[in-house]
A and B are shown apart, each in its own frame.
Chain A
Amino acid sequence: MTEFLTNRRLLLAGAAALAGSSALPRVAFAQGAPIRIGTLTPLTGAGGPYGPVMVKAVKAVIDEVNAAGGVLGRKVELISEDDQTNPEAGVRAARKLIDVDKVSAILGTWASSVTTAVAPLCWESKTFLCTTSGADSITALPHQGYLIRTQPTTTLQGKKFGEFAIEQKAKRVFFLSPQTPFAKSQFDNITLAVKAADGETASLIYDDKKPAYRTEIDEAMRFKPDAIVFGGYTPDTAVMLKDLYRADFKGTKIAFGYSVNQKLVESVPAEVVDKTYMISPSPAEGSKAYEKLVKLIGVTSPDPYTTQIYDHINLVLMAIALAGDSSGEAIKNNLRKVSQASGGAKIDNAVDGLKAIAAKQAIDYDGASGPCDFTEIGDITDSKFRYEQVQGGKIALVKIA
């Protein structure tokens, strides 16, 4: 798992980078307005640990591309906004990116609730949206092709959670989750997998703004579960784990990798979270793009969302280059031509991609998060999952499958 920098350090680094960018060698750009790309990541709120690193990855790619002469001879500009992991703040920031900054694409919306709120603004203004949210409902929106996601659907994730619980010899699986756009689908798909093995499931949807969940835990314990699946984010899951420990729950605990992360493990006593399993979509560790990203941002094992947004920016810039036009519509019509052209040259970063496009080669991008091939409605076709477990205060890899 990643050693995240604190925000303050990132802020300072960002400020220093901004101050230093004027000292970089000047690349002569041809005439033309800059191409503007917006990031809308959670810099604060439950997604706070991820957003700043995501922005860092995008900035690194844009700097590299600009140093190599930009796209279509134009400079690429990054405008970063904070969605606060909150739909309302996300909509406000998206309006600013679309109406004021006139960005070609928005990258990196993280929480499904935020993506669901922001997506209509994007397709109505013909702004392209790349997201890392998993709720099934997102690609079912009438987005007319203005949306892709690099995160596997909840249907797939729920199935993996259910199957894993069965593998751990669980027969009675309880799902504890706050109200999210993916809670229902997650539970339905866990249930399908568990029922297929003659198991039983039950669920409780809680309010994630409470200081304690003792009564909720009582209700869960009455089901006599031998596995509990957590559907929440880091702050509420931490409280749940503590209350479960107090209630002496001895069964299997399974959570999303983004909620039981290094930060959570450090912030609660070791015995509270010990032996908890985490499941998350796996980045394509060992792939060329992944190695390049590690070098680029200097983070040893970037989280899945950082690998995904790295792929977003590469794909968007290459699609603009192929189209010869920076509009959202141009990105929509050309994205799949750079992500999955059959028989195309395998490309793992935008700078090489731009050269290949200039040389009139067909390209097939394989990214840091996976092969990055998209269906008609914008879902990825293939994803591996990473299974981890907390062992003695450390996060250990169990398997990638």
Chain B
Amino acid sequence: MTLILQALINGLMTGALIAVPAIGFSAIFAVLRYPNFAIASYATIGAFAAWWANTTLGLPVIPSLALAFAVTGVVGVLSEETALKRLRDNGALIVAIASIALNLVLENIVRFIFGNDMKGYDLPLARDLRFGELRIGPQQLQSLALSVAIMAAMFLFLRYTRFGKAMRAVADNPDLARLKGIDPARIAIVTVFLGAGLSGVGGVLIGLDTSIDPLTGYRVLLSVFAAAVLGGLGSIPGAVVGALALGMAEELALIVVPATYRTAVGFVAILLMLTIRPRGILGERAS
């Protein structure tokens, strides 16, 4: 029993880490209708921006996170406008492939600036808290709290702000939104800024828990994509549910299958989901 509980707790923690970039990925998909695989490099860029703020400027976690969000958002908008925007009319697949190429370019720019070596944040590491047989890390709790706060902020933004409503309108029906006087180009920029920024923040959260190197984002790309598909591509709450479900599934699977197959759990989850319910857990639109 303890075994299963501990795995569930661990899964909740990893799931919450994956949820943040998954929201970004899903938001971009909802409004622009293509899967942006460059979010892997956005996560890496965010992780490095925060690392720089933390180690060079000596900023604590929250301001570093804010800086990472801003930097990655700007990088996301710039790459969207220069590289991907022109290709959008050619269909989702073309843009998706271009985003993979963009990912490689950005990853190597990070390499060129920061070198190839591993880096760690300048933060003390705390021992786990123990509750009887269960252990929970204070840092994981902090990351969990941060990602919950970010998700809540995102939810409020979509629900109550003009931009948020406009984003949802474009996601639901771009033609109708245009008739109502919403400028899709502006909404696209805001969405990409948010989506890339969130991926960057996700990269920082992952880095806080581990260490960072130019492949930080790339390593979690599959999990992020799986979480978004699982929850229903284009659904923001779906991305969260999908990430938590995937995190727990991966950890629970470790109890019965060898740890080498952990990544396979993500693939199997996608496969089952697409077979049984192609729209995903909370997906509304059949894409």
Contacts and interface: CB of A to CB of B under 8 A. Distances in A.
A267 interface: yes
A11 to B, nearest CB: 8
A48 B220 contact: no
Given A8-B115, A214-B137, 17 more contacts: A4-B117, A6-B115, A7-B111, A43-B116, A48-B117, A179-B260, A207-B263, A215-B7, A215-B254, A215-B259, A216-B259, A235-B213, A238-B210, A242-B125, A266-B120, A267-B118, A269-B124
A219 interface: yes
Interface string B156-193: 00000000000000000000000000000000000000
A178 B123 CA distance: 27
A214 B262 contact: no
A246 B124 CA distance: 11
Given A212-B14, A215-B254, A245-B127, A267 B115 contact: no
B263 to A, nearest CB: 5
19 contacts: A7-B111, A8-B113, A8-B115, A205-B259, A209-B219, A210-B14, A210-B219, A212-B13, A212-B17, A212-B209, A214-B13, A218-B6, A219-B254, A235-B213, A235-B215, A239-B210, A246-B127, A246-B137, A268-B120
Given A207-B261, A272-B125, A7 B10 contact: no
Contacts of A264: 118
Given A211-B17, A212-B13, A212-B14, A246 B118 contact: no
Given A267-B119, A268-B120, A214 B260 contact: no
Contact of A207 (B3, B111, B115, B259): B259
Contact of B211 (A6, A238, A271): A238
A272 B140 CA distance: 17
A271 B260 CA distance: 29
B46 to A, nearest CB: 14
Interface in A209-229: 209-212, 214-216, 218-219
A69 interface: no
A211 B117 contact: no
Contacts of B262: 206-207, 210
B128 A234 contact: no
Interface of B: 3, 6-7, 10, 13-14, 17-18, 111-113, 115-120, 123-128, 135, 137, 139-140, 206, 209-211, 213-215, 219-220, 222, 251, 254-255, 258-263
B211 A248 contact: no
Contacts of B260: 178-179, 205-207
A90 interface: no
A214 B144 CA distance: 15
Contact of B120 (A207, A209, A267): A267
Interface in A259-298: 263-264, 266-269, 271-272
Given A214-B10, A246-B128, A238 B117 contact: no
Contacts of B125: 242, 245-246, 268-269, 271-272
Nearest to B18: A211
Interface in A233-250: 234-235, 238-239, 242, 245-248
A45 interface: yes
A370 B230 CA distance: 54
A49 interface: yes
A182 to B, nearest CB: 15
A334 interface: no
B6 A215 contact: yes
Interface in A133-168: none
A4 B116 CA distance: 11
Contact of A209 (B3, B116, B263): B263
Nearest to B51: A267
Contacts of B120: 238, 266-269
Contacts of A234: 118
Nearest to B128: A246
B215 A212 contact: no
Contacts of A211: 14, 17-18, 206, 209-210, 219-220
Contacts of B115: 6-8
A125 interface: no
A246 B13 CA distance: 14
A242 B210 CA distance: 7
A218 B123 CA distance: 24
Contacts of A271: 125
A234 B211 CA distance: 10
Contact of A215 (B10, B123, B127, B214): B10
B137 to A, nearest CB: 5
